[in-house]
């Protein structure tokens, strides 16, 4: 009798385990992210570190992401599959006209959210490509001017603490070894500045300064939720808990585009 009971218990346990696995396989991802990553240059170590982090974060938050190393073939149909476009340092050139139009439609019509980082703001004439004027306007009418090549530590000041991207973050935090960009003008006339860097906090100090120096901002004149981070040059930033919290918040916030929240 005990043998039958033991066998019955094993069968029931096995059935419950199989049912649990089946339900787990049926769980749909909360959203999907397109990651356009710049590979093969000085930014690759940062990109690799960010993608490694993204693998863990996507499992934790139950979303999927696909990695692309070029916008080749991007069209409205492909972009329609994604709730968030994460531009992981890929610059705003080397895009075909069709790919540009698809991206512009995605942002202007709010077909998904956008998070852009560092090299995504390299706006100007580079490598024989003309400036993408729409993208410049999207990022606040800016043009790249200079950068601190030797990398320095700087203190970031949160300007809009009530913005969802800064939930759980302190009023200021340090970012180490960053290649701080400067631009021809502040994007503040066309965008909402969410954070700035204190240029007097640079260690080591630098003569390359912008004055009022935004480092996180968002364009609220388009339908897509969007946020740009100037930071994202060196892989050590993916060890910064404050920066990872900012990036986490921003991806989840951008994913709500078009969901009525």
**Residue 27: predicted pLDDT:** 84
Answer whether residue 53 shows pLDDT above 70: yes
- Structural contact between residues 183 and 145, judged by C-beta atoms closer than 8 angstroms: yes
Confidence band for 25, pLDDT divided at 50, 70 and 90? low
Confidence band for 21, pLDDT divided at 50, 70 and 90? very low
Confidence band for 9, pLDDT divided at 50, 70 and 90? low
**Whole-number Cα distances in Å, 30 to 26, 34, 209:** 12, 14, 42
Alpha-carbon span 80 to 90, nearest angstrom: 20
Q: Tell how far CA 1 is from the center of its chain.
A: 61
What is the chain's length? 261
Instruction: Give the mean model confidence (pLDDT) for residues 124-136.
Output: 95
Per-residue pLDDT of 156-170, as tens digits, reads 999 999 999 999 999
Confidence band for 46, pLDDT divided at 50, 70 and 90? very high
The structure tokens listed for 238 are 């993916």
User: What domains does the chain contain, in order, with CATH numbers?
Assistant: 30-254 (3.40.50.880)
**Residue 214: predicted pLDDT:** 98
- Mean pLDDT, the chain, whole residue set: 91
**Residue 65: predicted pLDDT:** 98
Percent of the chain with pLDDT over 70: 88
**Residue 22: predicted pLDDT:** 38
**Residue 5: predicted pLDDT:** 54
Answer whether residue 6 shows pLDDT above 90: no
β-pairing, 172-178 vs 32-37, is: unpaired
The structure tokens listed for 205 are 């100090």
**Residue 19: predicted pLDDT:** 41
- Structural contact between residues 53 and 245, judged by C-beta atoms closer than 8 angstroms: no
Kindly list the strands in the beta sheet with 64-68, ordered across the sheet, starting from the edge strand earlier in the chain. Answer: 64-68, 32-37, 84-88, 113-117, 226-229, 214-218, 192-203, 152-158, 172-178
pTM exceeding the 0.85 threshold for the entire prediction: yes
Q: What DSSP character marks residue 131? A: P
- More confident call, 160 vs 41: 160
Answer whether residue 64 shows pLDDT above 60: yes
The enclosing H or E element of 44 equals: helix 44-61
Answer whether residue 108 shows pLDDT above 90: yes
Answer whether residue 176 shows pLDDT above 70: yes
Burial 210-246 (b: 16+ CB within 10 A, else e): beebbbbbbbeebbbbbbbbbbbbbbbbbebebbebb
Per-residue pLDDT of 70-104, as tens digits, reads 999 999 999 999 999 999 999 999 999 999 999 99
């Amino acid at each position: 009798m005990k043998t039958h009971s033991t066998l019955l218990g094993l069968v029931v346990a096995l059935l419950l385990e199989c049912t649990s696995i089946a339900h787990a396989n049926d769980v749909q991802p909360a959203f999907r992210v397109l990651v356009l990553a710049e590979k093969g240059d000085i930014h690759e170590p940062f990109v690799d570190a960010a993608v490694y982090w993204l693998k863990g974060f996507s499992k934790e938050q139950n979303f999927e992401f696909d990695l692309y190393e070029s916008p080749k073939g991007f069209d409205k149909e492909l972009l329609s599959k994604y709730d968030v476009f994460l531009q992981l340092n890929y610059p705003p050139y080397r895009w075909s006209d069709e790919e540009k139009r698809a991206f512009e439609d995605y942002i202007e019509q709010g077909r998904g959210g956008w998070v852009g980082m560092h090299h995504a703001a390299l706006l100007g004439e580079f490598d024989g490509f003309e400036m993408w004027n729409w993208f410049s306007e999207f990022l606040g009418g800016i043009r790249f001017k200079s950068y601190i090549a030797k990398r320095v530590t700087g203190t970031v000041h949160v300007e809009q603490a009530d913005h969802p991207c800064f939930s759980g973050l302190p009023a200021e935090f340090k970012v180490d070894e960053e290649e701080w960009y400067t631009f021809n003008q502040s994007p503040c006339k066309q965008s909402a500045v969410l954070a700035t860097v204190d240029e007097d906090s640079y260690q080591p100090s630098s003569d390359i300064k912008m004055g009022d120096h935004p480092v996180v901002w968002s364009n609220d004149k388009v339908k897509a939720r969007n946020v740009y981070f100037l930071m994202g040059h060196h892989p050590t930033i993916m060890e910064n808990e404050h920066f990872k919290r900012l990036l986490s918040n921003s991806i989840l916030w951008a994913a709500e585009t078009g969901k009525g929240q």
